[in-house]
Amino acid sequence: MVVGVIAGLTVDLLLQRGRRGVTRDLALAVTVPPVIAIVGCWLALGSFRAVAGYFRSSFELARGYSVAMSLSGPRVELVAALEATVLVAALLFLVKLQDRSGASTP
């Protein structure tokens, strides 16, 4: 997301100002967000080794989640989810019918 913001800022600056005066703004746009992120993690976690461990464990967690989401589960869970969806829809329909009849009486 940060790369997209920096790219958008770069294109916007080039379109608005041309090539003059863009160097300083581009240098700030490229250096400030990563520096703030690294310093913030360092202050929150206490050391750069902990920051590296945090990023490594986050990457492993995301990779494991991605693998788990790509595997299909047992069919009985899919049937149970479909049944629950149908039951919730039926209950919502019954509540809607009750509210209509109750609204007409004074």
Instruction: Identify the weakest region by mean pLDDT among 27-31, 77-81, 82-86.
Output: 27-31
Q: Are 22 and 13 in contact (CB under 8 A)?
A: yes
Asked if residue 5 has pLDDT above 60, the reply is yes
Q: What proportion of the chain, given as a percentage, has pLDDT over 90?
A: 25
Nearest to 2 by CA among 26, 29, 28: 29
pLDDT tens per residue, range 44-78: 878 878 878 888 999 999 999 999 888 888 889 88
Nearest to 38 by CA among 29, 47, 30: 47
- Give the global pTM: 0.38
Asked if residue 35 has pLDDT above 80, the reply is yes
Asked if residue 20 has pLDDT above 70, the reply is no
- pLDDT score at 82: 95
Place of tokens 């920051």: 51
